[in-house]
Structure 1
Amino acid sequence: MKKINPLKWDAWTIFVVAIASVISAPVIFILSSIFTNTGEIWSHLASTVLPRYLLNSFILMVGVGCGVSIIGVGTAWLITMCRFPGSRLFEWAMLLPLATPAYILAYTYTELLEYYGPVQTWLREIFGWESVSDYWFPDIRSIGGAIALLTLTLYPYVYLLTRVAFLEQSTCTLEASRSLGANPWKCFFKVALPLARPAIIAGLALALMETLNDFGTVQYFGVDTFTTGIYRTWFGMGERIAAAQLAAVLLLFILWLILLELWSRRQAKYYQTISQQNLQQFQLSGIRKIGAFFGCLLPVFLGFLLPAGLLLQMTIAEGGASFRGRFWDYASHSLTLAGITAILAVAIALIIAYGVRLNPNMGMRLSTRIAAMGYAIPGSVIAVGILIPIGTVDNAIDSFMRSMFGISTGLLLSGTITALIFAYLVRFMAVAFGAVESSLLKIKPNLDDASRILGYNSSKTLIKVHVPMMWGGLLTGAMLTFVDVMKELPATMVIRPFNFDTLAVRVYNLASDERLTEAAGPALAIVLVGIIPVIILSLRIAKSRQY
């Protein structure tokens, strides 16, 4: 038997491993900072604010986890297995809240629900209330408000993956449960839900990671979490190492959640018999039909239609003034960063995916997973992991040039768009890699063999054969990465150069100054750009539909 080399050190392998090492360097640095002695700073944080960060982050995760699971799984089952008015429309409409970042929802709903907002003003006029002492109204700027808004923007992660799982479930299994007397409720709880568990957990994990990554919503609502604590420790206290250690605690917490989920299903198997038979849908009538319709409409209305409408109304009311002045400077900054990152991310993802195709051993696969793990890491953690080592390198170069030539080089990398783009690559490489890898896997290996017979080497095969065939996947990966960069706030807030604000930072600054009307235009622009991946995902769902 031929012995398989666990790691073949050819040019592609070296390149892939080198890329994985560079991209994973910020995460490794954060983890290594745990062993750094910060004196009394860390003990002060641990005795004062750390318990609050832990508690609030945990409450957020529990609340958002329950919310996205109920909405995502419930709507996925209704739309997949039931027929009611608008069910075909909701197939793609349920994804619309993905276009609206949570921090934009926070600013919009604050404008709508605060004391001087239209809702409370209308209530006081109707019931004759004169002050806040005459009535009670829930405070939107609270941890409960943060949970509600994060749930409205993140449930599509669970909905999307759960719906795909329901579509792929064996019809024979579901029909067998019905023949044994299972009603729709028992069919859902006893058969469909357990079989869809891996997809539900995967969507839930994505939603919880985005919850821990959120900065704009929790900061605006005054909820102290790890992301706000990292930012405050870095800029407020000037303690970079302490901020890195806070980031390390958050990172370990995320890794613990991932390992816990893997351990919980270590012996479970979810095999099913593949069936091409059409799914037999339940025909709803009466109150059930009405309940299903409004159950699907409500999260779409609250998560997208209402906030988008309010932003449009505020933009029109101010006569489009927010689109004048420096708006186009901010837009050009966002477009430039997103465009460069998207191109680089797709190019790097293509190299990594093709390297694995050429040499599919354990070492290569491990390197690709390391390179793609940044999506599970909050942007604030990545920012800290990048700025500290880059600052050390800049200072070392400056000291060397001063001692040798009497020239000060200053900061060459820190606070530049180079560092910011690197942070985006670390954060969103998984997005580009997923789209590129799925397209590459659809190309049959015999095409590689035919290309070599015609005299093409590996590089020419990639350029001449594979790239034209997977052009759609490359564009999808670039577009998804582009939109994610446009919406990214935590990493941009920490790393961006001075006087180089993006649309996301501009919206955050205006909202923080209570200038919500002026923030409407930039926020609406981000929402409109965010609709693009929703359309792409909707088309993919339509192609996967089996009925």
Structure 2
Amino acid sequence: MISRVKYPVWSATSWLIALALMTPIAVMFFSGIAANSDTFLHLWRTVLPDYVLNTVLLAVYVVVLVILFGVPSAALISLTNLKTRGVLRWLLLLPLAMPAYVIAYLYTDLFDYAGPIQRYLRALFSWQSPADYWFFDLRTLTGAAVMIALVLFPYVYMLTRTAFEYQDQQLVKAARSLGLSSRQCFFKVTLPLARPAIAISASFVLMETLADFATVQYFAVNTLTTAIYDTWLEYGELSTANALASILMVMVLLTVAAEYRARAHQRHQSKNKQTSKVRISLTTRQHIIGGIYCWFLVIAGFLLPFILLVDMAVQYFEQTSLAGLWHAGLNSLEVSIYVATVATLIAVLLGLYRRLSGVKNCAIPLQISGFGYAVPGTVLAMAMLATFGPLDHWLNDVAKWLEVPMPGLLLSGSLFAIIFALVTRFAAIANGTIASGLTKIPKSLDQAPASLGVSKWQSILTVHLPLLKSSIMVAWLLVFVEAMKELPAVLVLRPFNFDTLSTQVYQMISDERLEQGAIGALFIVLFGLLPIIVLNKKE
């Protein structure tokens, strides 16, 4: 084992990195607590209760919908003999690549009063005005929840499917031997055993929902996320925005803590995948209903929006600013490469420190560094401004006192703030991937090189890192794609005249001109497909 005395630099570096990633969040939180502005009091007395209520309702609606979408589809794929389940197994993951705000625009354009669906219905039934018929309105809180759920349900599907496939089949066989039918066995044994996986995936969805900004703003649904953005940009009240961000962060942490406490000590899965289990035989009617259900999720969550995007890109290709798209794409690549590389390096450093160090509490830096995933992007942006803004002013004051050129907004007004924020937010993804890879390396390999006279650093370079190569690639790719899709943090922190694909597409959507940004949206989706393809190939 590595000792504290022999490797103090590694230990100190790990703790410093973890604390550095946490510092902006702590600064923002205490800044929010200290805020006592008239703007905050005015918001509290007028619209803030409605914003909080909308936020809670949106979170509840989305979580309920993703469970209704994800759990049945996972059961059909992993427990039954549903036809085409081999294809549906990975097709059901594709909606993860589609940004919610993109499908929100596409479906609004499709089902709006001036859209093709209502135009066709009016022509078919000779309706003259909206007073002649009823049609649902997507631009509501419920509509926003459906749009978000369509792209986030694969979280629940993926983890629940894995839970079903790794369950101890002896428990299921015991239940069947006691006379339970397949239906009774599912609801009384299989589903309760998968509860931890459902709870974990639902918490992921909850965090992504609370972090959503573009979808709710496009649908004019006022939540805490939109309130933070508007308070900062419209009122210029950083302290008030920090206070609102602190409220949102506390809501997320309380929910995650309650979920973790509720599922504590619940472990009902085998370490190995159960390949010999007997699948439930479906009737012809069940095959049809189950197939329609799963294919509807695939079509509604990915295939139809993707086809609409391709159609828009082809029709409006000549009106698209390819120069602007090229610059935005290069900016997205630059930011995503930096973020993915830094986050993966941190994950490897902290993961190996936890694995190889004999120091007490060596797992804490890894845990602290992953905390940022629970913090919405808008909140992280406020944290960066609250931390680096005063530092920039201090640096400029020092430069002025020394009579040297002032550096300007060196930290808060450059790519540094964006990269720092995204590394803080997505470090947990890289941490989890690397930690999972390390669990597959036998413990005996930690000590074997030393018995051959190989130093610990040489063993890391020649044994651990080669074995982690696949996990490092997946971690880098996952963080790269998430950084490519990130919108709220980049929207707040970007320097002047700096656009990424996500901010450019968002601006087009805000101006009702997605047709001219369809190619950029397609690039975001195609990049989002990369980890799905890689993970499916690995599986």
Using structure 1 for the length normalisation, give the TM-score. Answer: 0.94
TM-superposed CA distance for 1:210, in Å, is 0.3
Of residues 225, 228, 248 in structure 2, which corresponds to 1:227?
A: 225
Q: How far did residue 495 of structure 1 move?
A: 0.5
Aligned to 1:408: 406
Q: CA deviation at 1:275?
A: 8.2
Superposed CA offset, 1:76-112 (max 9, x none): 1111111122111111111010010111111211221
Alpha-carbon distance, 1:407 to partner: 3.6
- Per-residue deviation, 1:39: 2.9
Relative distance call for 1:440 and 1:262 in structure 2 (3 A) is closer
Superposition map of 1:4-403 within 5 A: 10-266=8-264, 270=268, 278-319=276-317, 321-322=319-320, 324-403=322-401
Q: Partner amino acid for 2:231?
A: T
Gap change, CA 1:180 and 1:446, over 3 Å in 2? closer
1:432-443 matched pairs, under 5 angstroms? 432-443=430-441
Report the Cα offset of residue 72 of structure 1: 0.6
Letter in 2 for 1:94: L
1:477 aligns with 2:475: yes
Kindly tell me the number of residue pairs found equivalent between the two proteins.
538
* Change over 3 Å in CA distance of 1:8–1:152 after alignment to 2: farther
Aligned CA distance change for structure 1 residues 256 and 312 (closer, same or farther; 3 Å): same
| Code of the aligned partner of 1:26 | P
Q: Flag the 1:277–1:83 CA change in 2: closer, same or farther, 3 A.
A: closer
Mapped partners of 1:499, 1:534: distance in 2: 32
Paired AA for residue 41 in structure 1: T
% identical aligned pairs = 39
Query: 1:469/1:373 Cα in 2 relative to 1: closer, same or farther (>3 Å)?
Result: same
Relative to structure 1, the CA distance from residue 187 to residue 8 in structure 2 (aligned partners, 3 Å threshold; closer, same or farther) is farther
Q: Quick one: which amino acid aligns to residue 477 of structure 2?
A: M
Q: Does the 8 Å contact 1:322/1:522 carry over to 2?
A: no
User: Counterpart of 2:202 in structure 1: which amino acid?
Assistant: L
CA distance in 2, matches of 1:132, 1:422: 49
CA-based RMSD of the aligned residues comes to 2.0
| SS of corresponding position for 1:384 | helix
SS of alignment partner, residue 134 of structure 2? coil
Identify which range, 377-386 or 180-189, moves more after superposition.
Answer: 180-189
Shift of 1:454: 4.1
Distance (Å, rounded) in 2 between the aligned partners of 1:269 and 1:458: 34
CA distance in 2, matches of 1:539, 1:456: 35
- Tell me if the contact between 1:240 and 1:388 (Cα under 8 Å) persists in the aligned partners: yes
- Letter matched to residue 373 of structure 1: F
Contact 1:171 1:275 in 2 (8 A): no
Moved more, 26-35 or 475-484: 26-35
Range that drifts further, 298-307 or 77-86: 77-86
Contact 1:6 1:362 in 2 (8 A): no
Distance of 1:212 and 1:419 partners within structure 2? 22
Amino acid aligned to 2:483: V
> Cα distance, 1:53 vs. partner?
1.4
Q: CA deviation at 1:381?
A: 0.6
Deviations 1:131-178 (A, max 9, x none): 222212111111111011111001000110000000011112112222
In 2, the alpha carbon distance for the partners of 1:501 and 1:269 equals 45
Amino acid at match of 1:55: L
User: Is the partner of 1:322 in helix, strand or coil?
Assistant: coil
Q: CA deviation at 1:266?
A: 4.5
Summarize deviations over 1:444-464 as a string: whole Å, max 9, x none.
Answer: 233232323444433332222
- 5 Å matches for 1:373-522? 373-405=371-403, 407-522=405-520
- Using a 3 Å threshold, how does the CA distance of structure 1 residues 360 and 430 change in structure 2: closer, same or farther? farther
Q: Is the 8 A contact 1:209 1:254 kept in 2?
A: yes
Residue 269 of structure 1 deviates from its aligned partner by 5.8
1: CA distance, partners of 2:421 / 2:355 = 27
Q: Which amino acid aligns with 2:62?
A: V
What amino acid does structure 1 have at the position aligned with 2:397? S
Structure 1: gaps (5+ residues): none
Q: Give the 3 Å change call, closer, same or farther, for CA 37–227 of structure 1 in structure 2.
A: closer
